[in-house]
Structure 1
Amino acid sequence: MSELVEGETQPDLGLPAARMSDAEVALRLAEFILSLPASGAMASVAIDGASIKVGDAVAFNIGRFMAGTGWEQIKEPQVGRNAWTGAYRRSDKTIRVHSRPGGGGVVTTVDGRRVIAQCERGPLVRKPGGPEYALLTAALGQALLVDVSADDIVVAAVPDTPVFRKFAETWRSRPLVRRAGIRIALVARAGGVSGLAL
């Protein structure tokens, strides 16, 4: 039996009720970090085109999402770039969306320290044999491979669901995860983030 974790669909944003894309996880995480008192003014968000379009169908409409969450596009994409790239502003904060691979899905600063997050998609509806284990493993693996300095904060981020939460609570205490200093963040569709402790 399926269990809906995060409310119904959000028709104003065009989001599916059953899943969060890696683009949504990254944008919600960037928005949350920028809302913190000690955050910097800008977050860079790398989004893979495959999470935006599947064939000719739009899977995640960034412009609609950003406008629906109060972000105004201030810089159009450069000629030849994807239409969904560019800069978005809300108040004195900016999110720059690009499609360059490597370097982290979300890069920003908090209290002068760089925060680098690898974000993975995930289901919001619980199903037997779901992909959560593999997705969180992938986020942790990607986080391990990011080129960082000693002061950087490295994060693996996934949707906030009971299944992901169970894995996160167990894996945060694993010796190698603790030694690597990787934080496992759970990103809720409503915009809250747990496990970050910045």
Structure 2
Amino acid sequence: MTDETTIVISASMEDQTQPNSGLPADRMPEAEVALRLAEFILSLPGSGTMASVAIDRGSIKVGDAIFDIGRFIASVGWEPIKHPQVRRSAWTGAYRRGDKTVRVHSRLGEGDVVAQFNGRRIIAACKKGPLARKVGSLEFQLLTAALGQAMLFDVSGDDIVVAAVPDTPVFHRLAEAWRERPLIKRAGIRIALVPRHGEVIGLDL
């Protein structure tokens, strides 16, 4: 990684269950949500062999630090197979684990995660979020933004459209309530809760 993407999170902020990942213990960056969602989809029977993940500079910000994608993805067993092209963002590239591939790019206007499941395209809008309850947390605004982004995707009738946020008690309560809202149900948007460990909730594939 270049100096531009060097992580500066202190040891006290790292996720102790994944000591080599450099993850902040109190929040999930947007890039982590997207990568974990892609990883989960690829693990499902019936998934395709490749997931595309869009990550821009805003997605890797963790306060004043930078989420080190290379360090994280190596900690969960993915190996780089293609490095970024000249003048491309340093965190882009392709990574492989077994017969599955994750391609990280920084192109605008695409879903944060695009993958295949049983011949259907999954397209997801992902947002960051706090893992610990804080006064003035922004879960309402973050899930609203994910749903708004998902509503604007250019999709076909067979596509599976997803709004994805971290799996926390606050997001869980919002998701349970909002899944029953008439316009969300009519649009068919899935609200997915992405944990740091375990299965994604709410994809309903």
Alignment of 1:26 onto 2:34: yes
Instruction: Compute the TM-score of the two structures, normalised by the length of structure 2.
Output: 0.89
- Is 2:29–2:62's contact at 8 Å kept on the other side of the alignment? no
Matched ranges for 1:62-141 at <5 A:
62-141=69-148
- Is 1:10–1:17's contact at 8 Å kept on the other side of the alignment? no
Structure number with greater CO (CA < 8 Å, separation at least 6) is 1
Q: CA 1:191–1:111 in 2, change beyond 3 Å: closer, same or farther?
A: same
Q: CA 1:53–1:194 in 2, change beyond 3 Å: closer, same or farther?
A: closer
Q: 1-side partners of 2:123 and 2:154: how far apart?
A: 10
Corresponding residue of 1:189: 196
Q: 2-side partners of 1:48 and 1:191: how far apart?
A: 26
Structure 1 runs, 4 residues or longer, greater than 6 Å off: none
SS at 2:23 equivalent: coil
Corresponding residue of 1:4: none
Percent identical pairs in the alignment equals 71
Corresponding residue of 1:45: 53
What code does the residue aligned with 2:18 have? Q
RMSD, matched Cα? 1.5
- Deviation string for 1:18-44 (max 9, x for gaps)? 100110000000000000000000000
Alignment of 1:145 onto 2:152: yes
Instruction: Compute the TM-score of the two structures, normalised by the length of structure 1.
Output: 0.92
Gaps of 5+ in 2: 1-14
- Is 2:164–2:193's contact at 8 Å kept on the other side of the alignment? yes
Q: 2-side partners of 1:80 and 1:8: how far apart?
A: 35
Q: CA 1:54–1:184 in 2, change beyond 3 Å: closer, same or farther?
A: closer
Q: 2-side partners of 1:54 and 1:192: how far apart?
A: 24
Gaps of 5+ in 1: 1-6
Aligned residues: 191
What code does the residue aligned with 2:164 have? A
Q: CA 1:191–1:60 in 2, change beyond 3 Å: closer, same or farther?
A: farther
SS at 1:194 equivalent: coil
Q: 2-side partners of 1:9 and 1:45: how far apart?
A: 24
Q: 2-side partners of 1:67 and 1:100: how far apart?
A: 23
